[in-house]
Structure 1
């Protein structure tokens, strides 16, 4: 394929531009806007990164083998590879680029056993709907460093779901305990990187002002407070996590009678 822009590649594979840019940055590529050029080499690096991150086997006879070049979390390695990756068909490129599993870190407070069960059920629903939900009770084992789990979980996630309750707000605003530590990481990231859409408040308690931390007061939230609102709000959440929210239609030409 010839060189294209990020926007053109996103349109060709049916992926949102924002998600494609995130994939490219995770692969160590330099593009950060829709109009930047994507070379054939960039595509091969990206596709190799996505195949490896999805756990695809390079020796599988059913898949086209791709040897990932030296991609690290901080960027591309200077070391060249003598093995040139085989070229994928446009259909295979689209399949790989479209199949990224969104990773979600869940930040919540230990309000009660009932609340912990509710959060776990939400995480299970997300995982059953194709989202890699990260919940501390599944990944944090005795002896593990808690702060490292929080830092890595928030850093590596595509989104962070913040389960807002009165106790969560109290701990977050006062910077107390694990909730307070996570709030400091979240606030720092939003301030330093303007990474606002990564952090989604989930309203669990009906009192917005009494349960949403001060740092999140200006953010649009997902309302999961009742059975009446749960289903449409959960659907809205899934569309957001998959980057499939409704987009504005293209702007057409002005009618002839306006231009005349």
Structure 2
């Protein structure tokens, strides 16, 4: 049985986009519900729209244009679709065809933006993939060794105490460079030898980076810095909302076109250090490319893989 999709739009957009778009949906196996095709003279608009069209829909496509965002009928349909999304997991797919203010209820969703209303093959495929729940994910491999055992594998209690204290400091201070003396003061309960042992264990695990200085009386340890591996382990162990934070960063890039770490941090309210490390993670996954200068991280290019990861 083909998926049923209700198309919400402003009448002004019917000829320039909606009719052809809905026709292409039907040609690709989607039962697109359009008022022009479903409502006949004498039919009740409310009965047809809300009790037949929206009520039975598997998904709702909201055509967002400079006209539709101010239409009361579109707002009423969107309100109903939002309730259905909460109560029975109906997918809402915003399709943006103009440069306009996005309704508040759609801002947390991934949009499909169509720049050319006469040619949108790639965007149509993206919409169809969302309707049919087609996800092009790579196969799941074995989990890394550090998550197979305890919360943080291979670390003793003293190691965990130092590990958490280091990353708490780096995140709150926003400064990655930490001298050995500053680091030792973060966990005063650790003796000198215990602190040095834990520091070297964390370096061996790839959880911190250490710059060794000749002549240092602390086994040559001079400067401690965070690593991407250590940051990811820390966030997944101690921050249950990390995946949601990463998604918020991705949405700022994909939906709003933000390309600077500081701007993303300001818009999301997230810590700048955290945003920078999330972008570094995205880059290490080849979802985007970065350019870093002193005090600033910029996004140079974005791979379609980032969109597919958070679709």
**Under a length normalisation based on structure 1, what TM-score does the superposition of the two structures give?**
0.51
Q: Secondary structure at the match of 2:5?
A: strand
In structure 1, what is the equivalent of residue 135 of structure 2? 245
> Tell me, which stretches of 5 or more residues in structure 1 are unaligned?
1-99
Q: C-alpha distance in 1, partners of 2:88/2:115?
A: 28
In structure 2, what is the equivalent of residue 201 of structure 1? 94
| Contact preservation (8 Å) 1:164, 1:212 | yes
| Contact preservation (8 Å) 2:4, 2:31 | yes
After superposition, the Cα gap between the structure-2 partners of 1:251 and 1:194, relative to the gap in structure 1 and judged at 3 Å, is farther
| Contact preservation (8 Å) 1:166, 1:212 | no
| Contact preservation (8 Å) 1:106, 1:160 | yes
Task: Select 2:38's aligned residue among 139, 142, 163.
Answer: 139
Looking at secondary structure, tell me which structure has more strand per residue: 2
Task: Select 1:215's aligned residue among 105, 128, 136.
Answer: 105
Q: CA deviation at 1:186?
A: 2.0
Q: CA deviation at 1:215?
A: 1.5
Q: CA deviation at 1:157?
A: 1.1
| Contact preservation (8 Å) 1:167, 1:211 | no
Q: Secondary structure at the match of 1:163?
A: strand
Larger relative contact order, structure 1 or 2 (CA cutoff 8 Å, min sep 6):
1
Q: C-alpha distance in 1, partners of 2:48/2:15?
A: 18
In structure 2, what is the equivalent of residue 168 of structure 1? 68
Alignment of 1:188 with 2:83, yes or no, is yes
Alignment of 1:103 with 2:4, yes or no, is yes
After superposition, the Cα gap between the structure-2 partners of 1:227 and 1:121, relative to the gap in structure 1 and judged at 3 Å, is closer
Alignment of 1:118 with 2:17, yes or no, is yes
After superposition, the Cα gap between the structure-2 partners of 1:227 and 1:167, relative to the gap in structure 1 and judged at 3 Å, is closer
Q: CA deviation at 1:194?
A: 7.1
After superposition, the Cα gap between the structure-2 partners of 1:227 and 1:169, relative to the gap in structure 1 and judged at 3 Å, is closer
Tell me the C-alpha RMSD between the 2 structures.
Answer: 2.7
Q: CA deviation at 1:103?
A: 1.2
Q: C-alpha distance in 1, partners of 2:84/2:15?
A: 26
> Tell me, which stretches of 5 or more residues in structure 2 are unaligned?
155-311
Point out the structure with max Rg over C-alpha.
2
After superposition, the Cα gap between the structure-2 partners of 1:189 and 1:253, relative to the gap in structure 1 and judged at 3 Å, is closer
After superposition, the Cα gap between the structure-2 partners of 1:128 and 1:229, relative to the gap in structure 1 and judged at 3 Å, is closer
**Under a length normalisation based on structure 2, what TM-score does the superposition of the two structures give?**
0.43
Q: How many residues align?
A: 148
